[in-house]
A and B are shown apart, each in its own frame.
With several copies, the nearest count.
Chain A
Amino acid sequence: MIDVMYFAWVRERIGVPSERIETSAPTVAALVDELKAREERYAAAFEDVSALRVALDQELTDFDASLEGVREVAFFPPMTGG
């Protein structure tokens, strides 16, 4: 079980801010593929992952990062703070 969070337009496309997901995906990319296969709204949100960022347990990382031991995954567009 892993907590998956979505922010900004990723959240809007998927329709929920977060959800608990049962997965055995070894990497972020594998999780994304699982989600895209589930429902159209995920396919729409993850259509172009080069436009997205991912954080594992609140640290920015890459889509090929391992999910081993990870409790929280977050997907979001490039940040626009400041």
Chain B
Amino acid sequence: MQVRVQTEPFDAGAELNAFTAATSGAGAVVSFSGIVRDVDGGLQEMEIEHYPGMTEKAIAKITEEAVTRWSLVDALVIHRHGTLHVGTPIMMVATAAPHRVDAFAAAEFLMDYLKSRAPFWKKELTASGADWVAARDEDEDALRRW
């Protein structure tokens, strides 16, 4: 199990390969990457604030729960903070399991919990100013299925 909270960009493909190589016995590997997306064509950059200390603890706890619940061979979470440019990765999760159903469920669980329970806050900088991204009700609702 690996959890990394960092300002540096990362190479999702290289991380996926390293993760897969280290998980012998896993027939199924699922990855999710979140990319800074310019929805309305005006995004200049994204700022992510976090709560040092709590962030790592919260992610580790969520990841341990996923590993136990779906008998994962391994799990990886990388989440950036600081200033992020359009088109670059914000974060990724990867899960490895004997069967695909478990790898998928665990990755979705991790994403749902990271979205709403890990202390990160996104701010979008556009030509017209800076705005904190509002939490979406769907994200809070998504937790109920687990």
Taking beta carbons and an 8 Å cutoff, which residues of A are in contact with B?
5, 7-9, 11, 55, 58-60, 74, 76-82
Contact = CB atoms under 8 A, between A and B. Distances in A.
Interface of B: 34, 48-51, 53-54, 57-58, 79, 90-91, 100, 111, 114-123, 132-135, 140
Contacts of B133: 80
Contacts of B50: 81
B132 A8 contact: yes
Given A80-B122, A80-B133, 20 more contacts: A5-B51, A8-B123, A11-B49, A55-B54, A58-B53, A60-B58, A74-B119, A76-B121, A77-B132, A77-B135, A78-B140, A79-B117, A79-B121, A80-B115, A80-B135, A81-B50, A81-B115, A81-B118, A82-B111, A82-B118
Contacts, number: 72
B135 A58 contact: no
B116 A78 contact: yes
Nearest to A55: B54
A6 B49 CA distance: 11
B57 A79 contact: no
Given A8-B49, A8-B123, A81 B132 contact: no
A78 B122 CA distance: 11
B57 A58 contact: yes
29 contacts: A5-B51, A7-B49, A7-B119, A7-B121, A8-B49, A8-B123, A8-B132, A55-B119, A58-B54, A60-B117, A74-B54, A74-B119, A76-B121, A77-B121, A78-B116, A78-B135, A79-B121, A79-B135, A80-B121, A80-B122, A81-B79, A81-B91, A81-B116, A81-B119, A81-B121, A81-B122, A82-B91, A82-B114, A82-B120
